[in-house]
Amino acid sequence: MASTADFRNGMVLDIDGNLWAITYFQHVKPGKGGAFVRTKLKNVLSGAVVDKTYRAGEKVKDIRLERHPVNYSYTDGDLYYFMDTGTYEMIPIARDLLGEDQLRYLKENMECEGLVHDGAVISVELPQFVELLVTKTDPGFKGDTAQGATKGATLETGAEIQVPLFVEEGDILKIDRREDKYLSRVNK
């Protein structure tokens, strides 16, 4: 058991038999009344997001999920197959469990983390930062703007993001996939 003082992003709670990960929390101490904790929880299996409020000091059941390295291998319909790098076992994960926000950046042989509960991989998380090739973008022209201008670019996985004008087709970019944000060019 843990209390609301132990909350941190990524912590997994057991609520009514379902696993929920904390994606955001805020301790609130109003001028009148008792303190409370406002949270945003994401269902580990379905990806559903809910807001929940706890009284300060309230006890919750926390779950420890193990993380195992897995590599993405291939897709067969709505199933995505990942190989456990320790046992070489193929693990099928449904498209719904991965979520569209992750699938936009998933490419072959990508190293990911499998979330293990009761000895079985229940979900997969992609790395926060991914390196992908730009397959299509418009050329940027010198003198187009004073500063900070962006243009659209399509990556090798089909994802589209905004990038600075100097990015060209064939560049490999480091992307923060959680924010769909360009970070830097990777040296070739």
What is the pLDDT at residue 110?
93
Q: Per residue in 133-174, pLDDT tens? A: 999 998 876 655 556 788 899 999 999 999 988 888 999 999
**pLDDT at residue number 49:** 86
The string of pLDDT tens digits covering residues 109-123 is: 999 998 888 887 888
Residues 66-90 pLDDT 10s: 888 999 999 998 899 999 888 889 9
CATH of 2-63, one of 2.40.50.180, 3.10.129.10, 2.40.50.100, 2.30.30.30: 2.30.30.30
Residue 97 has pLDDT above 80, yes or no: no
Query: What is the C-alpha separation between 97 and 117, in angstroms, rounded?
Result: 15
* Percent over 70 (pLDDT), the chain: 96
Residue 133 main-chain phi, psi, to 5 deg: -85, 140
Range of lowest pLDDT (25-34, 95-104, 149-158) = 95-104
CATH for the stretch 66-125: 2.40.50.140
CATH topology agreement for domains 66-125 and 129-186: yes
Sign of CA dihedral 96, 74, 81, 64: negative
| For range 86-95, the mean pLDDT | 87
Determine contact, residues 173/134, Cβ cutoff 8 Å: yes
Confidence of residue 8 (pLDDT cuts 50, 70, 90): confident
Q: State the pLDDT at residue 65.
A: 82
Superfamily (CATH) of domain 129-186: Nucleic acid-binding proteins (2.40.50.140)
Supply 145's token pair. Answer: 């703007």
Please report, for the chain, the start and end positions of each structural domain, with discontinuous segments joined by +.
2-63, 66-125, 129-186
pLDDT at 188: 60
